[in-house]
Amino acid sequence: MSSHKLIIGNWKMNPSTLEDAKRIAKRTRTVAARLAHTEVVVCPPFPFIVAASSRKPSANFHIGAQSVSIEEGGAHTGEVGASMLKNLGAEYVIAGHSEQRASGDTDETVSKKIARILESGMTAIVCVGEKSRDENGGHFEFLKNQIKGSFTGIAEDKVKHIVIAYEPVWAIGAKEAMVPSDVNEMSIFVKKTFADIFGAEAGLKLKVLYGGAVNFRNAGEIVRSGRVDGLLVGRESVNMPGFVELLKAVDEVG
Ligand code: PEP
């Protein structure tokens, strides 16, 4: 189970109707149940979380959320708390997605969100990634600082409930994904940086996913040659049958 690949479907602000949300979730659930080496997490917009969940336990299928408030509860109009998400059946929550960082989330906000997610007994999917790359390797320094900042104050005994999604911002929503050899290099760098903060064992156990322009054509190769523990998939996760093909391709990697 722990060596299973993890595929996160980040629906973003899609689809526009409840009917479509139910249809996409049902199709994903059905396919997930047939996978042998892969766990699937769908992260719908908040209003569709209940509809996307299954009433009965469903093999290899989990519900996640795309973000969470840093607050516990009370007078915070428009916010959604971690305990509410847990109560709806969410097992995973994304923190630090670049689209949320672009709307104002700082490393400090991200670390507070991670703390809320972990306190509520869910797994945090923490997104990190550079905006651009340069020949001098400035992206390594950027990434190291972002990881250190995002995990400030997180207790060592909680880190088994953290997954990192390495998502170079320039690849999100783009036409082309990062080449697998670079994905492999960055995944190793993320694990090493995590190990520097939380110790060698935590670094070894950490699951690192890749995200950015993944589709059914490139997914298998990114997982195989990029040697990542899974993928964070945006657009393709609401595109049927593309997502079904993507799940099958990753499952074949074994
Ligand atoms: C994402 O939403 O994090 C993402 C990687 O999007 P896309 O797969 O559409 O590039």
For residue 233, the CA-to-ligand 1 centroid distance in Å is 5
Ligand 1 atom having least distance to the Cα of 10:
2
- pLDDT of 55 reads 82
Pocket test for ligand 1, best of 43, 126, 163, 167 (most atoms within 8 A of CB): 167
Our answer on whether the CB atom of 232 is closer than 6 Å to any ligand 1 atom is yes
Determine whether the shortest distance from the Cβ of 173 to ligand 1 is under 6 A: yes
Any idea how long the chain is? 254
* Ligand 1 pocket residue status of 178, Cβ below 6 Å: no
CA-to-CA distance for 252 and 159, rounded, in angstroms?
A: 29
Task: List pLDDT tens digits, range 142-181.
Answer: 999 999 999 999 999 999 999 999 999 999 999 999 999 9
Crossing angle of the two packed helices 180-198 and 138-150, in degrees rounded to 10:
40
- Say if CB 108 and CB 152 are below 8 A apart: yes
Q: Output the pLDDT for position 3.
A: 84
For the record, the structure tokens of 172 come out as 């999100």
**Which residues of the chain register pLDDT less than 70?**
1-2
Residue from 98, 235, 237, 239 whose mutation best tests the ligand 1 pocket (most atoms within 8 A of CB): 235
Instruction: Report the alpha-carbon distance of residue 43 to residue 45 in Å, rounded.
Output: 7
- pLDDT value at position 9? 98
Q: What is the CA radius of gyration of the chain?
A: 17
**Token pair recorded at residue 54:** 């299954």
Distance 208 CA to ligand 1 centre (A): 15
Return the percentage of the chain with pLDDT > 70, whole number. Answer: 99
Q: How far is the CA of 215 from the centre of ligand 1 (A)?
A: 10
**What per-residue confidence (pLDDT) applies to 1?**
46
Give CA–CA dist 94/78, Å, rounded. 18
Task: Kindly report the backbone phi and psi dihedral angles of residue 148, in degrees, each rounded to the nearest multiple of 5, phi listed first.
Answer: -60, -45
**For residue 231, how far is its CA from the centre of ligand 1 (angstroms)?**
10
214 lines ligand 1 (CB under 6 A): yes
Which residue of the set 62, 97, 99, 236 is catalytic? 97
Beta strand extents in the chain (DSSP E only): 5-10, 38-43, 61-65, 92-95, 123-128, 162-166, 207-211, 230-233
231 phi/psi in degrees, rounded to 5: -140, 150
